[in-house]
Amino acid sequence: MSVVVLRTAEEVRKTVEEWRCSRRIIGFVPTMGALHPGHLSLVSKAFEHADTVIVSIFVNPAQFGPDEDFESYPRTLRDDIDKLEKVGANAVFYPEKDIIYPEGFSTSVHVSNLTDTLCGKYRPGHFDGVSTVCAILFGIVKPDIAVFGRKDAQQLAVIKRMVLDLRFDIRIVGADIYRERDGLAMSSRNRYLRPVERTQAAALFRGLSRAAELAGKGERDTGRLCEVARQIIAKSPLAVVQYLEIVDQDTMKPVERLDGPGLLAVAVRFGKTRLIDNIVLDPGASYKED
């Protein structure tokens, strides 16, 4: 069966209502399009929890800063639909801007605390844009579950908090990071990298993996773990680290000592392209034996 393209909130409501009448569990994957295998793995993840999956494609202006890539963000609808058809998605919601933000739109959802650190520090207003658009999309689609990738770990934490605080009756599911063969996390922005930057970008995962390995062997000093990852990334001369920090996975607050799993998160610039990645550090058995 081919994927249905829905353009308005009414079309989505009607379609989802029909699915619900036939007792189907509804899964939702919000995206900004330019789909790559990482996005398609989110759809597969949604099918682990739902019978029917709807994907939204909306390049959300509210989450881009004035100097960011909103205008140039890749828009590849035809190709995206072909890919979604292949993975069996049931519907695509592809709204125009005024369907999401009609005239007079005046609301913003701000999740505090979790948005002060990491990307929140460098992209003011970004998470307000993300949580607002997700709240709108959740209100239109009303899914049972929604899937978000763990590459955007802070986004996942923000959405989980919002769903809890605003009592959306939606289960938020995190999906593992999907990586290229050399470890680079898949991202729609990887296509901006020049070949030499693309080669050097593999250092992110090398740095993160080395820190995870040391943490697994019992290293608990987060300063030391960060330094190890930073030195490996610094071997790529084009990499400019914006932040590299170990934080609590739920609160996104910095952690000084690993007394349990922590999230090592990094943002690096290669020229105009900004990449993010992360890995969970688990202090491991040697720590428990102390």
| CA dist list (Å): 28 to 74, 91, 108, 214, 254 | 22, 10, 22, 37, 31
CB of 11 to ligand PAF, least distance (A): 19
54 near ligand PAF, judged by CB under 6 A: no
Among 3, 9, 26, 32, interactor with ligand PAF by CB under 6 A: 32
CB of 196 to ligand PAF, least distance (A): 27
Written as six digits, the tokens of 265 are 């998160």
Report CA dihedral (140, 30, 175, 203) to the nearest 10 degrees.
Answer: -160
CB of 81 to ligand PAF, least distance (A): 17
Helix axes 77-86, 37-49, angle to 10 degrees: 40
Catalytic residue among 39, 49, 110, 126: 39
CB of 134 to ligand PAF, least distance (A): 6
Stretch that binds ligand PAF, among 10-18, 26-34, 115-123, 177-185 (CB under 6 A): 26-34
273 near ligand PAF, judged by CB under 6 A: no
Looking at beta carbons only, is 3 or 32 nearer to ligand PAF? Answer: 32
Among 80, 128, 152, 219, interactor with ligand PAF by CB under 6 A: 152
Residues 169-208 that bind ligand PAF (CB under 6 A): none
39 is catalytic: yes
63 near ligand PAF, judged by CB under 6 A: yes
277 near ligand PAF, judged by CB under 6 A: no
CB of 133 to ligand PAF, least distance (A): 5
The single-letter DSSP state of residue 113 is S
Q: Which of 254, 243, 255 is nearest to 283 (CA)?
A: 255
Looking at beta carbons only, is 91 or 215 nearer to ligand PAF? Answer: 91
| CA dist list (Å): 186 to 105, 157, 159, 168, 178 | 33, 20, 21, 29, 6
Output the DSSP codes for 41-106. HHHHHHHHH-SEEEEEE---GGGS-TTSSTTTS---HHHHHHHHHHTT--EEE---HHHHS-TT--
Residues 127-146 that bind ligand PAF (CB under 6 A): 130, 133-134
Number of shown-chain residues binding ligand PAF (CB under 6 A): 10
178 and 65 in contact (C-beta within 8 Å)?
no
53 near ligand PAF, judged by CB under 6 A: no
DSSP helix/strand/coil, 175:
strand
Q: What are phi and psi of 88, to 5 degrees?
A: 85, 15
The rounded Cα 241 to chain-centroid distance in angstroms is: 19
CB of 234 to ligand PAF, least distance (A): 28
- Which residue ranges make up the site for ligand PAF (CB under 6 A)? 30-32, 60, 63, 130, 133-134, 152, 155
Which of the residues are catalytic?
A: 39
